[in-house]
Chain A
Amino acid sequence: METSTVSPFLDQLLADRPVDSARGWLGRLRGQALEQAHGAGVPTVRDEDWRFTDLSPLYKLAFRAPAVVPEPTPDAIRPHRVAEAAVRMVFVDGRHSPALSSAVDVLPAGLKVERLGDVDGEWLRSRLGAVAAFTDDAFVAINTAHLQDGAVVVVDRDVAIDAPVHLLFVSTQPDAAAHPRVLVVAEPSSDVTVIEEHMALHDGAYCVNAVTEVIAEANARVRHVKLQRDGKAGFHLATSAARVERDARFHSHDIAIGGRISRQNLRVALAGEGSECHLDGLALIDGRQLADTHSFVDHAVPHGISRQRHKCVVGGGAHAVFNGRVLVRSGAQQTDSAQQSRNLLLSERARVDAKPQLEIFADDVKCAHGATVGQLELEEVFYLRSRGLDDLAARNLLTYAFAAEIVDAIGVKSVVERLRAHVMARTGAQETLR
């Protein structure tokens, strides 16, 4: 990795770690991550992986650990409630907020949603950091060096939890950096949906550096919905990593709406035969926003299935980046992989850099990919106009529809409705569809 060894940004970020009270393995993990973070430095546009995403506006800023300030009122987060949720766990500037979280003693049987610090150390040790290794990425290292608070979701074997788990990360103060951490473990043949949402109650600059790890054990199903609705001056850096074991299935829905600069790394290891992943992504940006998604699907064993749909709707002078890497290792015969990247530019100045990256080392596989970048289809616009809709209404409707396909697949009704309303407002389809 290209390093900028002199980085006040990094020094400040790493200096501001919580006082290390942890002993044993967790302390060592943090220490190693800290060393790694210092050594590796932060990425620049000279790194192939960061070619299009210039973080220098971030590096110019100095972030501190969040101050202890009064928590937001329940009313402030009410619009973000998920009605269907079995449980809501809220983190304010990275710290757990018992007052804003729902009571955990009424959880459905077989579901545990706990703070990192409350989880059995030995159990955690073999899982935390097992899927998102701090050696993989500079920001994962920084996150791991800060490891203190976080959410751990565990579903017992054979238990299916219908109601989603809602993890809400709220930023309340400018200039602060938070390092949220989530671990989801779905035991064999279990089923769970986790909604991870990021938002801000202010318009200042701040930094979220999140790491989420998912372990879907044999025959389990995990649906991870990530709603990145950070503030307009916010920086969002995140890695979501999943290990999908035999016959298990991982669904991911990544929605990037907020933030000035956001970077979502999505790493999925199809580690067991017959495992599947279904990855949906939507970036809906305008103004001067930049949203970057780098995904990596690792087909390590035979009979894996991966399906990916990534869409970007880019307006104003915004810039979307998509890099979809799919690796089919030599032993991964009968792999069935399809990736689709579709991008809609709403203005002359909007820009997208979309790149599939297929690396196939097995010979008996089915791999398809396609990328399109363009404006709305002339034929579609004309068809709607020939039915009486004016040009603007037709365009708004088509833009809305383009994004709605990804939104609808989330499957949690209140989230779908909330996002649909948002997409409508953004595209102007509100007027059209009344």
Chain B
Amino acid sequence: MSTDRPLLDVKGLTASVAGKTILKGIDFVVRPGEVHAIMGPNGSGKSTFSKVLAGHPAYEVTAGSATFDGEDLFALEPEMRARAGLFLSFQYPVEVPGVANAQFLRLTYNTVQGARGRDELDPLEFDDFVREKMKLLEMNPMFLDRSVNEGFSGGEKKRNEILQMALLEPKLAFLDETDSGLDIDALRIVAGGVNALRTSDNAIVLVTHYQRLLNYIVPDFVHVMDGGRIVKTGGKELALELESRGYDWIAKAA
């Protein structure tokens, strides 16, 4: 494992939504090149954790800190976090009726490229570029003409998320249940797409309920979240153990 400085360093994070405390003290470190998996029962706070990191305005950070690539993450607006290289693949991607997917993808791509001091692409150049990326995910180009996520099936939405990841080239990608709702072929394709994007400089956090995904994207660390805390951390074998034994034994042991 790399000994570089952490890409993400979260210390003592507590957060609440609608006046209710959900995250109750999270310490979490990700270094470049690593793959982390976060598992845990429904409602344990996994999505909340990812949304807090991405800057969702409904979630309030009440204590703790997060450093991303050397910067104070919580001092940044959500869009600045994205431009700095943090990417969240939503558990429930949002439908945006009336905005063509191609238009949206180009807009986000150019905005982020511009912020990083790189060249933007005009519509024709972008069209070629995005079609190449779509091939990687075996996505039908007709999804370019449809409104963003509108009427997409669950699996199509997840592919569209990973397509955005491929375009935005994040340093840290938080994939919240990207595998849920994918059939086995789609899972293989999406996981292959994610693996193709991995380098020694970036890192991935997978939020999942299933070992199945972890067969394709093998984690270095597996964390179990329960009641807004990380209650156990282990290697990839922990996921197998969770699959066979469930979560109860951890709660009892803790």
A residues sitting closer than 8 Å to B (CB atoms) are 377-380, 382-391, 393, 397-398, 400-405, 408, 432-433
Contacts and interface: CB of A to CB of B under 8 A. Distances in A.
Given A386-B78, A405-B98, A378 B103 contact: no
Contacts of A408: 98
A108 B78 CA distance: 57
Closest 4 interchain pairs by CB? A401-B98, A383-B94, A387-B108, A388-B82
B178 interface: no
B167 to A, nearest CB: 9
B94 A389 contact: no
A382 B57 contact: yes
A388 B112 contact: yes
Interface in B105-135: 107-108, 111-112, 115
B222 interface: no
A340 B1 CA distance: 56
A391 to B, nearest CB: 7
B94 A380 contact: yes
A433 B107 contact: yes
Interface in B55-86: 55-58, 77-79, 81-83
A398 B77 CA distance: 19
A13 B94 CA distance: 53
A385 B107 contact: no
Contacts of A383: 90, 93-94, 96
A387 B77 contact: no
Nearest to B149: A383
Interface string B127-171: 000000000000000000001000000000000000010001000
Given A387-B168, A391-B77, A402 B98 contact: yes
Nearest to B81: A386
Contact of B56 (A382, A384, A391): A382
Contacts of B230: none
A383 to B, nearest CB: 4
B88 A389 contact: no
Given A378-B57, A390-B79, A433-B103, A401 B96 contact: yes
B56 A401 contact: no
B97 interface: yes
B107 A397 contact: yes
Contacts of B79: 385-391
B75 to A, nearest CB: 16
A389 B77 CA distance: 10
Contacts of B112: 387-388
Given A402-B98, A405-B97, A388 B54 contact: no
A385 B77 contact: yes
Nearest to B84: A388
Given A383-B96, A402-B97, A405-B98, 17 more contacts: A377-B94, A378-B58, A384-B96, A384-B104, A384-B108, A385-B78, A386-B78, A388-B79, A388-B82, A388-B108, A388-B112, A389-B108, A390-B77, A390-B79, A397-B107, A398-B96, A401-B99
Contacts of B58: 378
A11 to B, nearest CB: 47
B121 to A, nearest CB: 12
Nearest to A382: B56
A328 B77 CA distance: 52
A385 B79 CA distance: 5
Contacts of A397: 99, 104, 107
Contacts of A378: 57-58
Contacts of B115: 388
B156 to A, nearest CB: 16
A391 B77 CA distance: 9
Nearest to A397: B99
Nearest to A408: B98
Contacts of B90: 383, 386
B98 A387 contact: no
Contacts of B99: 397-398, 400-401
B82 A385 contact: yes
Contacts of B57: 378, 382
A384 B108 CA distance: 8
Contact of A379 (B77, B88, B94, B103): B94
A57 to B, nearest CB: 34
